[in-house]
């Protein structure tokens, strides 16, 4: 089943990574020679995505937007000095792929469901889409990508999918635990207490969302009025409701390594893995 659209939220201040995120957007922190978000972007492009909807902060200049547009001055410099072999490295987006940018006010509604609902309403999304967040990725350069795993798991456009990652039982409390039966999601619990852990499979915010699941996100965001210090609009809440109503969410396994740039320890580890450090 081809999926040609993807949503990538990259808004927010990245407060866990201050002070560096005062001047560098969290999704643009370097891992190896590329920014964090580009690992997801290039993976999605290889999976057939042609339209990427990025939800960005309404702060200028926007570094992620600058990264994905052509730098004419740089191209002229490379050509003038006979470094044309590097033009391919400077071109960060194929000609047949478009990135659409939608600004999110950091003082407005907050949480992982919000950017999905924003894009769905602004662009009238009524087809399955990938939803990948911009500060983590699955590293599996010689094997199946997260996008490929998700695609293989769904059987028709009415089904959704979530990526499952196996972790040690004591680490489940850091993530969103998911229970699986016959390859389908049956329950999701965000950061459970250790005594509540019934599965060592967690999700890492990599999805295929069907039109019905997307609509569940929209209705959830529009029907609640959480204040800035109240509950976040978590995508897992409408996801759980969707499953309770009988919606099918396949759990796609992954054989790659989950790398997270949201913490300094995770970012250092990601660089060590990608750069081949032993």
Length reported for the chain: 278
DSSP state of 120: H
Whether 172 is in a domain gets the answer: no
Q: Which of 5, 14, 254, 277 is nearest to 137 (CA)?
A: 254
Whether 135 is in a domain gets the answer: yes
3-state DSSP assignment of residue 166: strand
Whether 224 is in a domain gets the answer: yes
Whether 262 is in a domain gets the answer: no
Distance separating alpha carbons of residues 203 and 184, to the nearest angstrom: 13
Q: Residue 232's Cα: distance from chain center in Å?
A: 17
Distance separating alpha carbons of residues 226 and 81, to the nearest angstrom: 56
Which residue range forms the structural domain that includes residue 131?
5-157+209-249
To which residue do tokens 């913490």 refer? Answer: 263
Give the pLDDT confidence score for residue 15 in this predicted structure: 86
pLDDT tens, per residue, the chain with 278 residues: 799 999 999 998 888 888 999 999 999 999 999 999 999 999 999 999 999 999 998 888 899 999 999 999 999 999 999 999 999 999 999 999 999 999 998 778 889 999 999 999 999 999 999 999 989 999 998 889 999 999 999 989 999 999 999 888 888 888 889 999 999 999 998 888 888 888 889 988 899 999 999 999 999 999 998 877 778 899 999 999 999 999 999 999 888 899 999 889 999 999 999 998 54
Give the pLDDT confidence score for residue 278 in this predicted structure: 44
Number of structural domains the chain divides into:
1
Q: What CATH code is carried by the domain that includes residue 108?
A: 3.90.550.10
Whether 11 is in a domain gets the answer: yes
Using alpha carbons only, what angle is made at residue 71 by residues 65 and 76, rounded to the nearest 5 degrees? 180
Whether 180 is in a domain gets the answer: no
Phi then psi for residue 258, to 5 deg, are -80, 125
Whether 165 is in a domain gets the answer: no
Give the pLDDT confidence score for residue 277 in this predicted structure: 58
pTM for the model stands at: 0.94
Whether 99 is in a domain gets the answer: yes
């Amino acid at each position: 089943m081809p999926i040609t659209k993807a949503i990538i939220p990259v808004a927010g201040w990245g407060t866990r990574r201050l002070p560096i995120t005062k001047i560098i957007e969290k999704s643009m922190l370097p891992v190896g020679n590329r920014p964090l978000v580009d690992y997801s972007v290039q993976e999605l492009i290889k999976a057939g995505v042609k339209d990427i909807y990025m939800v960005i902060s309404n702060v200028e200049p926007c570094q992620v937007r600058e990264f994905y547009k052509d730098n004419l001055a740089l191209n002229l410099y490379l050509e003038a000095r006979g470094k044309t072999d590097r033009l391919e490295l400077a071109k960060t987006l194929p000609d047949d792929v478009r990135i659409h940018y939608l600004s999110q006010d950091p003082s407005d509604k907050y949480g992982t469901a919000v950017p999905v609902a924003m894009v769905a309403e602004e662009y009238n999304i009524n087809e399955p889409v990938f939803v990948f967040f911009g500060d983590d990725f699955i590293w599996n350069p010689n094997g199946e990508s997260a996008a490929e795993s998700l695609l293989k798991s769904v059987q028709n456009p009415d089904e959704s999918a979530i990526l499952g990652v196996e972790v040690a039982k004591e680490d489940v409390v850091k993530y969103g635990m998911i229970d699986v039966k016959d390859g389908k999601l049956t329950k999701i619990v965000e950061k459970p207490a250790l005594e509540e852990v019934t599965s060592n499979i967690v999700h890492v915010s990599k999805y295929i969302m069907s039109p019905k699941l997307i609509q569940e996100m929209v209705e959830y965001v529009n029907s609640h009025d959480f204040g800035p210090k109240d509950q976040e609009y978590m995508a897992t809440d409408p996801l759980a409701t969707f499953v309770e109503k009988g919606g099918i969410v396949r759990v796609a396994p992954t054989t790659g390594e989950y790398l997270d740039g949201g913490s300094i320890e995770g970012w250092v580890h990601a660089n060590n893995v990608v750069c081949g450090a032993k």
